[in-house]
Structure 1
């Protein structure tokens, strides 16, 4: 998926059993990359985007992703758009979804204390190896060695979308131009796939995304935002560490 993934298991289990759990996560993420990579011409999503694969012949995973992306397009008034770049690219949902699925599979296998970080999209459950919640630093959007917020969670997801690493890679689908107004958007909630999509949509909206995100708090999705001119906003229930 063009990023680094780190996996930390804090369960008290033999090393070989922990190794098998991690290997299972890695196998799943490689499967997702092979199916959904927009950089691989033979991936399922690339073949579907070129019209070489019919929807009825697509995998259950691809059909699920396309259906949810359509729902998110409606829920975000078109700002989450898998076709914003002109061709099919559901990456704004897929990365978070793949990690959410991996976390759920670990939990079903009995791993109740774990942390998966895929390029800043993070899903954690249970407790840190030293006890207490997992702590997540949200990078300062101008000073890479500093953080804007530190979050503390025992069960939840954190997704951050910003322009400070990859530049203007988020498109405002209304204008067809690079999104402007927000430098960094972090969304915290129960489902990483949704949090990831909301962060992408809000960044595409620009400053209007601040008010839109505030309404998502009623559904359990809190947020922290930094604007292009350096102003910071956060929702009342953001799980900031003391």
Structure 2
């Protein structure tokens, strides 16, 4: 997926800045190595095939497994990490959580640059933060794509710190699974969530897209929903 890092602050060519950016990208490559379902040698693919037991996996895998259980509890079972594969067999697939988690962890490498502000965008999951003094009252402007016309921006969110995540079918088709109906959701529109954590914004964007409208009542304080 396309991943970009934007920084605002002094001396963007400084060695410590280049090192922080390189470290963020290195982290994302490590996440891909462990969690990609498109790589037969990833730990998640080996778990899904029965070759590797979760107990023997990398501790980062344990962390994601725990987060997936927590996300399922928080959303009343609407978010799930057990999805049917191409053969219809239900297997562990944490990719609905991993991207937001990976972005949030990558952003910590950028947050170490205390005199810079950052914006990390990974396939539409956006994490921003860093020095508010650098922003000087001009926060990041995050555009939310119109799901019915992907060449236009339907909404702009201004944010100095936190995350934005969007779920829908405009880009990837019917890939979001509703565990209640045991079916993939195939309808137009999108749901974006803005809040303190891009990890949980991503989880809730998925849950609110596939779940019933009343699920919004479970949304934690500090999060905003944008439905298009």
Is the pair's TM-score, using the shorter chain for normalization, greater than 0.5?
yes
Contact 2:167 2:209 in 1 (8 A): yes
Over 3 Å counting, the alpha-carbon distance change for 1:77 and 1:132 in structure 2 is same
Q: Distance in 1 between matches of 2:141 and 2:113?
A: 24
Q: Distance in 2 between matches of 1:181 and 1:7?
A: 31
Farther-moved stretch of structure 1 (155-164 vs 86-95): 86-95
Partner of 2:87: none
- Aligned equivalent of 1:211, options 194, 210, 214: 214
Q: Which residue of 1 aligns with 2:9?
A: 11
Counterpart Cα distance in 2 of 1:14 and 1:169: 38
- The answer as to 2:50 corresponding to 1:51 is yes
- Tell me, yes or no, if the aligned pair for 1:186 and 1:199 is still in contact at 8 Å: yes
Alignment of 1:86-101 (within 5 A): 86-101=90-105
Which structure shows the higher strand fraction? 2
CA distance in 2 between partners of 1:111 and 1:47 (Å): 42
Per-residue displacement from partner, 1:41-89 (whole Å, max 9, x unpaired)? 1101111222222232211110000011011112212211111222221
Q: Residues 124, 14 of structure 1: CA spacing in aligned structure 2 closer, same or farther, 3 A cutoff?
A: closer
73 and 215 in structure 1: CA distance in 2 versus 1, 3 angstrom threshold: closer
Q: Which secondary structure state, in structure 1, belongs to the residue aligned with residue 189 of structure 2?
A: strand
When structure 1 is superposed on structure 2, of 83-92 and 23-32 the one drifting more is: 83-92
Distance 1:119 1:163, change over 3 A: same
Give the Å deviation of 1:93.
0.7
Distance 2:149 2:53 in 1: 46
Residue 170 of structure 1 is matched in structure 2 by: 176
Q: 3-state DSSP class of the match of 1:15?
A: coil
Structure 2: tracts of 5 or more residues without a match = 85-89
Aligned residue in 1 for 2:226: 224
Aligned-pair CA distance for 1:109: 4.4
Q: CA deviation at 1:20?
A: 1.7
Q: How many residues align?
A: 220
Q: Contact 1:84–1:172 at 8 Å: present in 2 too?
A: no
Cα 1:212–1:112 change in 2 (3 A) is farther
State the TM-score, normalized to the length of structure 1.
0.84
Q: Which residue of 2 aligns with 1:64?
A: 63
Return the alpha-carbon distance in structure 1 between the equivalents of residues 226 and 70 of structure 2.
24
Q: Contact conserved, 2:3 with 2:120, CA < 8 A, in 1? A: yes
Tell me the TM-score normalized by structure 2. 0.89
Check conservation: 2:148, 2:188, Cα contact below 8 A: no
**What is the CA distance between 1:13 and its match in structure 2?**
3.0
Quote the offset at 1:215 in angstroms: 3.7
- Alignment-derived partner of residue 32 in structure 1: 31
- Asked if structure 2 preserves the Cα contact closer than 8 Å seen for 1:182 and 1:225, the reply is no
Q: CA deviation at 1:111?
A: 5.5
Q: CA contact under 8 A between 1:180 and 1:204: conserved in structure 2? A: no
Pairing of 1:185-204 with structure 2 (within 5 A): 185-204=191-210
